[in-house]
Amino acid sequence: MRLYRRVVKKDYLHGKAVYRYERFYIPVPRRYHDLVRPFLGVDLEVKVEPIEGGGGFVVKVLRSR
């Protein structure tokens, strides 16, 4: 599994300036699609915690709004 970063660029003031922001994506492996499917289209409150030792992170769904 790989974490993806995308930089989004939006022009404003008729192209005189550019607004940039980052989006991070985590693709879900096929074997977990049935677990994730009920959350599609739902606003979620999530918590991201690093794993001790710097080996990764854990994403927890706290509740749906």
- pLDDT tens-digit series, residues 23-59: 999 899 999 999 989 888 889 888 989 998 878 888 8
> Residues 15-22: what's their mean pLDDT?
93
26 close to 32: Cβ distance less than 8 angstroms: no
Query: Residue 56: its pLDDT value, please?
Result: 85
Query: Residue 58: its pLDDT value, please?
Result: 87
Beta bridge partners of 61: 46
- Confidence band of 64 (pLDDT split at 50, 70, 90): confident
Residue 46 neighbours by CB under 8 Å, 6+ apart:
59, 60, 61, 62
Calculate the dihedral angle through the C-alpha atoms of 12, 13, 14, 15, rounding to the nearest 10 degrees: -60
> Residues 2-24: what's their mean pLDDT?
92
Q: Which domain holds residue 44?
A: 4-64
Number of domains, the chain = 1
